[in-house]
A and B are shown apart, each in its own frame.
Chain A
Amino acid sequence: MDFNFLNDYFMFFIHGAKITLLLSIFTIFLGVLMGIVLALLRLSNNVVLKSISAAYIEFIRGTPLLVQLYIVYYGLPLIGIEFPDIDALGSSFPDLMSGVVALSLNSGAYVSEIIRAGIQAVEKGQMEASRSLGLTYGMSMYYIILPQAFKNILPALGNEFITIIKESAIVSIIGIHDLMYNTDIVRGNTYKPFEPLIIAAIMYFIMTFTLSRLVGFVEGRLKVSD
């Protein structure tokens, strides 16, 4: 095995990894926001809102991410949503946004199921005690239920974040210059089909392993009240 290509391409890998990271951070953020909203809709007493949320989650879980990505990529311009073509980090901004939107829409559905389970695992008495003090439903959710739910679901949420980093490799298909895309470029340019993959794998692993340690650390911090 010959890794001499790193002399020329190391920064190219790093650059790809940056895009992957950026994509993942936006997706995690938007996915969690969406997940909270979907979970609250799913748990609401309004049948219409509940059904919308349930249907959305079923649809996302029942279709391939690749199909969703294509639908967003070709669909957004069709319904008139176009992002300005500013040069963002060497990758086309509209493409990048398509990737973020598709991954977030996907992740939101999974996150919402995690959050829903977490909320439902908080004892019923917690909401009752909070409401009996005079706190509104929203305040009770914010101060009492969600913090406890968050603690319950942190391991599952961490898994989902790791999944996002890994699954983000799929956006290379629509031409986003992420780690996977750049790896393929190196493979083509150097006529080495194998070695660049090792580098990519190591870089993905460094990202996911760091994240999983980070989640473990936060989990430990939250254990003080146990």
Chain B
Amino acid sequence: MINVNDMNKSFGELHVLKDINMNITKGEVVVIIGPSGSGKSTLLRCLNLLEVPCDGKITFQGIDITDEKNDINKLRQNMGMVFQQFNLFPHKTVLENITLAPMKLKKINKEKAEKIAMDLLKQIGLEDKHFTYPNQLSGGQKQRIAIARALAMSPDVMLFDEPTSALDPEMVGEVLQVMKQLASDGMTMAIVTHEMGFAKEVADRVVFMDEGSIVEVAEPKKIFSNPENPRTKNFLGKVLSVS
């Protein structure tokens, strides 16, 4: 579904992504792990062109998204994204947050858009919050609603950029639960996270990145119990010994 070929990205002098090659197939859950500053968030943000790669090619459903002739806005409608900082729209109610894009972009009428939104809110257990403003919600609730907002466009792939990193520990579970459900429903997902337990349980493949390169790609069982690359070993040794 997504193919990345020889992609490079630099911020000025800083070469943050080096010759990235990866693919995500339909229905697959790919979890990207690695130390801070390894380029995993940048990689994820390149997938929907929030960051523009310096060279290389990214195709989504066979369409080259880096080609300026293709309408990135149209393509993004099929790629949901969830951010570390939630980024809900604070001046809009929960319901308006979710219905905005479907109404403006898909021209779905208000009634139908609200029906979709309420169904999604029910799935995440927040149907009573539809008239609430984001600032009155907890972090976990915000993030679940951010997921619902992205899902309202019925995207073909969901990108998660450290969705639980800004949450209080007791709220991490509720967000991961929603993501797990999504994965078991067959959603194609790319997830940047530090939650190793979650990666182990949900991922079809785990990508380990370090210093801007993909160091190792393997099934979770393999990478967590028997990593091949010494850098992977070193990193996992550090994070797993803590948890």
Contacts and interface: CB of A to CB of B under 8 A. Distances in A.
Interface of A: 123, 125-126, 128-136, 139, 143-144, 147-148, 151, 224-226
Nearest first, the 10 A-B pairs at minimum CB distance are A134-B77, A129-B87, A125-B87, A132-B81, A133-B101, A225-B133, A134-B76, A134-B73, A125-B85, A225-B91
Contacts of B80: 132-133
B74 interface: yes
Interface in B60-93: 73-77, 79-81, 83, 85, 87-93
Nearest to A151: B91
A100 B133 CA distance: 40
A226 B134 CA distance: 9
A147 B91 CA distance: 8
Interface of B: 48, 50, 73-77, 79-81, 83, 85, 87-93, 100-101, 104-105, 133-135, 146, 149-150, 153
Given A134-B105, A143-B100, A225-B135, A128 B73 contact: no
Interface majority SS on A: helix, strand, loop or mixed? Answer: helix
A19 B64 CA distance: 60
A129 B97 CA distance: 11
B133 to A, nearest CB: 4
Contact of B135 (A123, A144, A226): A226
B87 A135 contact: no
Contact of A132 (B74, B76, B135): B76
A128 B41 CA distance: 14
Given A129-B88, A129-B146, 6 more contacts: A128-B83, A131-B76, A134-B77, A135-B104, A224-B133, A226-B135
A147 B150 CA distance: 21
A130 B224 CA distance: 36
B153 A128 contact: no
Contact of A129 (B89, B104, B105): B89
B76 to A, nearest CB: 4
Contacts of B150: 132-133
Nearest to B102: A133
B104 to A, nearest CB: 6
Contact of B50 (A131, A135, A224): A131
A136 B77 CA distance: 11
Given A147-B91, A225-B133, A132 B85 contact: no
10 contacts: A123-B85, A129-B146, A132-B80, A133-B149, A135-B73, A135-B101, A135-B104, A144-B89, A147-B91, A148-B91
Contact of A136 (B73, B83, B134, B135): B73
Given A132-B76, A132-B81, A139 B91 contact: no
Contacts of A132: 48, 50, 76, 79-81, 83, 150
Most buried by B among A123, A129, A136, A148: A129
Contacts of A151: 91
Contacts of B85: 123, 125
A221 to B, nearest CB: 12
